[in-house]
Every structure is written in structure tokens, then in C-alpha cells.
Structure 1
Amino acid sequence: MLSASIILILSFAVLVWSADKFVYGASGLARNLGVSPMIIGLTIVAMGSSAPEIMVSANAALNGATDTSVGNALGSNITNILLVLGITTMVRPLTVSSTTLYREMPILLGFTLLAWYILSDNVLSFNEGIGLLVGFFMFIGFLIFLANHTKNPNDPLLADNDDEIPSDLPTLYAVLWVIAGLIMLPLSSHFLVDSAVIIAQFFGISDLVIGLTIIAIGTSLPELAASVAGVLKGEDDMAIGNVIGSNIFNILAVLSVGALIHPSEIDPNAASRDIFVMIGATVALLFMAMNFKGTRRINRVEGGLLLVGFVAYQIVLFS
């Protein structure tokens, strides 16, 4: 048990580090190859924070633990909104000004409802995985179209994304970081899933709950770090954009990976409990961030409510 806990912590650390370095190398390489910084920011950088979830989901599915894969996707989205944005907003209230975010927030709600429909029969099928994967590539195409046809090149989110892309990284070093990430991401996620399963079995926790809690919180650490760092630098749109982009990729990419590798029946609690928590959190974010209440700020009171919701959800899971 002790050794499994140590391996779990080390695996999380390596997973987060390797995901960061993979994105660093991939975005630097793309920039050196002449890809638009706007496209890099909206695709590679945005996908980077979901890389840990994708790799963990793939390893869980390979081990036949589709419930862990599903729990990771749903739990990460819940954690991103309730915990990550809750903590970030407590650090400093968030001002939402990016037109890009206003386009993506309704899209996130739409994909969240799609996830509800897919899981409502308690089965995650191969065909549903194909559909989600098609949706993923369509969304990437939308982001590229957005980057090429944006009417506001001074959009703060796009400017913040541009700042995250290395401009002086030699191509050789960029390639080495990409290779390192491609090696360390699957290795660390493999050890993470194995150790998490051991811990779950020791405490009698289901595969779904271990994905919703320990793994979801751990794989959301990049979003937490990026969002807090963003708000401290005054990049509020980046802080919210990381969460919205990651949640969309979790639904389309993380769920599809589990479905394609190991389609199966899933724990009924995913459709009867957890998906509704994810929908509720998404709707709450939409109302807090959009201009429905006369302001474009998510204040500390609202952030506190998000944190209370996260704690209440954890209590329900373990009660």
C-alpha cells in the first residue's frame, strides 16, 4: 500500500511534467515550421492540458477498466470547474472578455449534453467512440477556422496563448522534448493506473470512483497550475480558456479513447449521478461567466460556491 502510494505520487509528477514538456516541444516545433501562433495556441497548447487524461484513459481501457476511463473524463471536467476555477477565483476574481470564450462556452454545454445522451444507456460503444472522435476532429477544424478568420486579432485569449509558445527553441531541442514526452506520458500513466487500482482495491473503492477522484484530481493539476499562474499574471481569459478547452477535449478525446479501446457496459452511477453533476457545473460556469447577470466577472462568492459544490460532491461519492 505504501509503495503503491509513492508510485502514484511520482507517476502524477512525471505525467504532469512530461505533458508540459511535450506541449513545449510540439508548439516550439510547429512555430519553427511556420504554423501560425494563433493555430498553435488554439490547438496544441489547448490540447496539452488534456494529455494526461488521454493517456490515463488509454491505459485504463487497455487494462479493461473502462469505468476508470469514464470516471477520469467526467471527474476531470467536474474538478476543472468546481475545484480549479473555484481556487483560481478565490485567488483573484476573474474578468471574462474574450470573444473566443463566448463562442466555446455554449459548445462545451452542447458536448456535455451529448455525453449525457451517450452514457444514458449505461453502455460506451465502439460506434459512440467513433462519433466522439469525429466530433473531436471537427472541433479542431473549427478552432483552425477560427484562428484563420478571427475578426479580432487582439482578442486577449489569443494574445495570452501566443505568449505561451516558445519563440527561440531550436528545432533539435523541440524534437527531443516531443520524443521525451511521447515516451514518458504512456509510461507514467501506466504506473499511475496500476498504483491507483491497487489503492482502490485496498479501500474497496470502485473503478468509477477512483477515476472520479484520485485520478481526476491528479490529472487536473496542469489546469490548476495554468489557471492560477494565468490569473496571477492578469491573463484571466487564459485561466478560464484552459478549463473550457480541456473539458471539451475530455469529452471528445478521453471518452472516445476508452470507447475505442475497450467498449463495454459502464457503472450506472456515471449516468444517474456523475453526468448530472458535470452538467450542473457546466451550466453554473456558463451563467457565471456570460453576461446574464449584468457583469463579466466570476467573483469570490461564486468561486466559494464552486468549492462548496466540489466538497459536497466528494462527500456524496464516499458516503
Structure 2
Amino acid sequence: MLLIFWIFILAVCLFGLVKSSEYFISSAKHIGLALGIPEFIIGVTLVSVGTSLPELLTSIFAVISKNSEIVIGNVIGSNVTNIFLGLGILPLIIGFFTIEKNVISVDLPILLGSSFIIAITCHDGIFTRYEALFCIGGFLIYMRYASNEHRKHRRKQIEQNIRRPKFKPIHILYLIVSCAFLYFSAQYTIEAIIKLAQIIDIGTEIISASALALGTSLPEIVASIVSARRGSTDIAVGTVLGSNIFNAFAIMGVAGLIGPLIIPERMMGFGIYMLIAASLLYFFITLDRENTKFEGSMLLVFYVLFLVKLFQLF
């Protein structure tokens, strides 16, 4: 009975994280535009941060509550889930599609680089503040690139002199309320993970790499599917790749600045190997700028194998 209760609490908290992050992003965007902040600045920050907000907040609370092993489980689990499940399901839904050259030449190499950086910085079992600063630097460099790309895509809209929306005080209330829900949802998500780990007698990093990772990856996956169905396959792929880069650089960096992160032995082995394997696999199958249903099916099979092997470790 206690197990069912905490599973329910975890599910409710994950739902609260996802929905409150959506309201937070929407309100922040409206306020920013109303105050005259350039659209490309709002766009690049919200796209990068918005869909990964649940992962970021749960990681921060994990470090604060002295359960830093949850952070690496969440980051690795989310990134593997995004690639195997998120990118695997796209061609099965919309069929064969091609990818822009800049995604192959820039985003994918950065994704690979971020995965290898995580592997290198975590190999000794601890992620220090110096390594966190290095990751923050990598994130700032990526944000610079993303800002330039976003500016190019939005130049036409800016030239069209889009009218600034009228400021509505209600959005301040939405922002405050969504922040409160984000705070409590993240706090009790970590509490639920700890309780479930104690009841089932497994490591908290396993739950964070599976259930938590799947729950917090849903915004990226849903956003990608919506973009793909609208014909914007590059945005669909870019959303997932950008989220993975954000997870590796920003989440590890921010969490690591709060305090050193303990890397469980199982994550140093199986987890990091799967992160590298997922990144390399998607890199090579996308070199021809094409994603097929067969490749999507293969990625989904690897996701199932990842989950099976993850729980076999215990």
C-alpha cells in the first residue's frame, strides 16, 4: 500500500512539474515581450531552459537534500531517453524525413562533445565545482551559437515590426503561482524517489534514470512530436538535441556549483557507456541527413534494452 502511495505521489509531482513549467514559460514570454525584450533573446533562453526546467529543479533539490547521486541518474537517463525514445518515435509517427546540414555539422558534434565531457569529468566518481564551472562555460558558448541561429531565423519577423503585446498584471500572478508549484513539485519528487528507493531497496539513481527521466523528458518529446507534425522536423530534432546539451552542461554545471556531485559506480559504468553509445549511434545514423522508420525502430529497441539492463543491475 505504501509503495502505491509513493508511486502516486511521484506521478502527481511529475505532472505538476511539467504543467507548472509550461505556465512559467508562457507567462515569462508574455512579460518579456511586453517589456520590450528582443524576441530572439526570449526565444533562445526559453527554448533551451524551458523544456529542461523539470530536470533542473529536481537536480537542484537533489543536491540540497544531500542526494546528489540523483543528478547524474537524471541527466544520463533523460539524455538516453530523449535520443532512444524521443528521436526514435519521430520517424515512426511522420515517416521518413531529412535534417538540415547545420544540425549535422554543429548540433550533433556539440552533443557528442557534451557526452564525452560528462564521461571524462565523472570517471573518478565525483563531479567538482571546477568541473561544474567548465560545463557552465560550455553552456554559455552553446547559448552564443544558439542565439546567433535564432536571430537569423527571426530576422524577418523583427523586420515586420511585430506589435508589442499589452502588459497584463495577471501574468505576474501566473508566474508566481507556477514558481510555487515548481518548487513544491520538485521538492516532493525527490522525496518520492527516496521513499521508493527505500521501499523497493534499489539505488535512487536507478529510479531517477528511469521513471524520473521519462517523466521529465515528456516536454521535449511532446514538443518534438508537435513540431514534426507541423512539418518542422529540424525544430523537432533541434529541441531534443538542445535539451540534451542543456542537461549535460547547464544542469550538471548548476548542480555542481551548489555542491560536489557523487557519481555512483553503476552510473560510472553502465550509465555513461549508454550515454556515449546513444550519442554515437544517433550521430552515425544521421550522417546521411536522413531518419527512416527502420532507424527509429532500432532506437526504440535500444531504449527497451536500456531499461531492462538498468533494472538487471539490481
Greater CA deviation, 6-15 or 171-180?
171-180
Q: Is the 8 A contact 1:39 1:143 kept in 2?
A: no
Once superposed, which parts of structure 1, at least 4 consecutive aligned residues long, lie more than 4 Å away?
Answer: 166-169
Task: Give the aligned partner of residue 52 of structure 2.
Answer: 50
User: How many residue pairs align between the two structures?
Assistant: 304
1:191 aligns with 2:193: no
1:113 aligns with 2:116: yes
**TM-score relative to the length of structure 2:** 0.89
Question: Structure 2 CA distance, aligned partners of 1:143 and 1:241?
Answer: 10
User: After superposition, what is the alpha-carbon deviation per residue over 1:119-159, rounded to whole angstroms, capped at 9, x for unaligned?
Assistant: 111111122122222332333233224444x4x668xxx99
Q: Is the 8 A contact 2:36 2:164 kept in 1?
A: no
Question: Where in structure 2 are the equivalents of 1:153-232 lying within 5 Å?
Answer: 168=165, 170-232=167-229
Greater CA deviation, 58-67 or 260-269?
260-269
SS where residue 169 of structure 2 aligns? helix
Match of 1:298 among 271, 283, 291: 291
Task: Give the aligned partner of residue 31 of structure 2.
Answer: 29
Question: Structure 2 CA distance, aligned partners of 1:253 and 1:146?
Answer: 19
Question: Structure 2 CA distance, aligned partners of 1:98 and 1:173?
Answer: 42
Question: Structure 1 CA distance, aligned partners of 2:68 and 2:184?
Answer: 19
Task: Give the aligned partner of residue 141 of structure 2.
Answer: 138
Q: Is the 8 A contact 1:11 1:191 kept in 2?
A: yes
Gaps of 5+ in 2: 158-162
2:144 is matched by which residue type in structure 1? G
Task: Give the aligned partner of residue 107 of structure 2.
Answer: 104
Task: Give the aligned partner of residue 310 of structure 1.
Answer: 303
Cα deviation, residue 116, structure 1: 0.9
Cα deviation, residue 241, structure 1: 1.1
Question: Structure 2 CA distance, aligned partners of 1:171 and 1:111?
Answer: 40
Task: Give the aligned partner of residue 271 of structure 1.
Answer: 268
Cα deviation, residue 171, structure 1: 4.0
1:96 is matched by which residue type in structure 2? I
Match of 1:255 among 252, 257, 282: 252
TM-aligned CA distance change 1:38 to 1:100, over 3 Å:
farther
SS where residue 220 of structure 1 aligns? helix
Cα deviation, residue 79, structure 1: 0.4
SS where residue 34 of structure 1 aligns? coil
Question: Structure 2 CA distance, aligned partners of 1:96 and 1:35?
Answer: 31
Gaps of 5+ in 1: 160-165
**TM-score relative to the length of structure 1:** 0.88
SS where residue 120 of structure 2 aligns? helix
Question: Structure 2 CA distance, aligned partners of 1:245 and 1:169?
Answer: 31
TM-aligned CA distance change 1:214 to 1:178, over 3 Å:
same
Question: Structure 2 CA distance, aligned partners of 1:29 and 1:140?
Answer: 21
TM-aligned CA distance change 1:113 to 1:174, over 3 Å:
same
Question: Structure 2 CA distance, aligned partners of 1:51 and 1:3?
Answer: 25
Q: Is the 8 A contact 2:224 2:237 kept in 1?
A: yes
User: After superposition, what is the alpha-carbon deviation per residue over 1:70-117, rounded to whole angstroms, capped at 9, x for unaligned?
Assistant: 100111000000011112221113431363664222111111111111
1:80 aligns with 2:119: no
User: After superposition, what is the alpha-carbon deviation per residue over 1:215-247, rounded to whole angstroms, capped at 9, x for unaligned?
Assistant: 111100111211111112222112111101100
TM-aligned CA distance change 1:28 to 1:99, over 3 Å:
farther
Task: Give the aligned partner of residue 5 of structure 1.
Answer: 7
SS where residue 230 of structure 1 aligns? helix
